[in-house]
């Protein structure tokens, strides 16, 4: 489902989306676990185009999990898959921007940049060289409403790499960033690193059992909506894992259409 020749330096506006180069140049941080924090992940004109092209909330669907549920029974987190078949349903003025971004996020070049950056952790987990690893990329836009939170967790083992690009309009939401923890329980849970929710920034980390603990504190009404771009690389080592990921894509498109 991913185009083999997708380009990770596609242009949106006058500048390139050179995410693979920026990932390669970003220093690896070791504490509290291996991760990177990207600043200026997008050129200013590209970032302006992304913000201007954010779809209406009616295009999003609920992403339900226990801690995100609001008193009215709805989820405080919404999602919009950025597969081409979903993007083609957007208004024409938004379609081109997100088709370009979708190609970049699903590109082989970008996946290879993340695998090279997290080589040590990935090879330790999968017991093979990163050149023999092939993950399934799932890109989506997220919109979190006031009241959203998620407690300390390490991400499911079905995930290999978690990536999130922040999309705030200014610096006023810097305090809403994901928090990394040294452990799930005290005292490790109290030793934290906050990844500031700043314009055109983002983070990524390899999913490691009993290590990649992170959380998002509950947001308040005055914080407003929290927009971001999530890219998850899923494991497809076994035939069953490959089948699940590749059957899920048409299913979510069909399910999304039925809910319109």
| Each residue's pLDDT tens digit, 127-159 | 999 999 999 999 999 999 999 999 999 999 999
Residue carrying structure tokens 């999304």: 256
Q: Spell out the residues 6+ positions from residue 168 whose beta carbon is closer than 8 angstroms to its own.
A: 174, 176, 197, 198, 199, 226, 227
CA 228 to chain centre: 7
Backbone angles phi, psi at 32, to 5 degrees: -80, -10
CA nearest to 205, candidates 153, 254, 128, 258 = 153
- Homologous superfamily of 29-258: q2cbj1_9rhob like domain (2.60.120.620)
How does pLDDT run across 88-140, given as a tens digit for each residue?
Answer: 999 999 999 999 999 999 999 999 999 999 999 999 999 999 999 999 999 99
C-alpha 183/C-alpha 190 separation (Å) is 8
Predicted structure pTM score? 0.89
Per DSSP, the residues of 32-81 read: SSSBEEESS-S-HHHHHHHHHTPPPGGG-EE---GGGB-TTS-BSEEEEE
């Amino acid at each position: 489902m991913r185009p083999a020749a997708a380009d990770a330096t596609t242009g949106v506006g006058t500048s390139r989306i050179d995410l693979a180069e920026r990932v390669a140049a970003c220093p690896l941080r070791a504490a509290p676990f291996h991760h990177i924090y990207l600043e200026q992940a997008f050129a200013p004109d590209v970032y302006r185009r992304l913000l201007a092209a954010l779809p209406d909330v009616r295009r999003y669907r609920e992403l339900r999990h226990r801690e995100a549920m609001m008193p009215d029974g709805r989820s405080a987190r919404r999602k919009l898959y950025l597969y081409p078949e979903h993007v083609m349903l957007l208004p024409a003025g938004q379609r081109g921007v997100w088709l370009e971004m979708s190609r970049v996020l699903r590109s082989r070049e970008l996946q290879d940049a993340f695998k090279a950056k997290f080589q040590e952790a990935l090879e330790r987990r999968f017991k093979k060289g990163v050149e023999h690893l092939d993950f399934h990329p799932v890109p989506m836009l997220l919109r979190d409403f006031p009241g959203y939170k998620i407690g300390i967790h390490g991400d499911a083992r079905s995930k290999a790499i978690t990536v999130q690009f922040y999309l705030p309009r200014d610096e006023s939401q810097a305090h809403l960033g994901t928090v990394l923890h040294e452990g799930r329980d005290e005292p490790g849970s109290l030793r934290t690193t906050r990844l500031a929710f700043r314009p055109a920034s983002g983070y990524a980390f390899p999913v490691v059992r009993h290590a990649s603990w992170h959380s998002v504190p509950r947001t308040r009404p005055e914080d407003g909506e929290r927009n971001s771009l999530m890219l998850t690389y899923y494991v497809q080592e076994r035939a069953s894992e490959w089948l699940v990921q590749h059957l899920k894509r048409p299913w979510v498109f069909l399910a999304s259409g039925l809910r319109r």
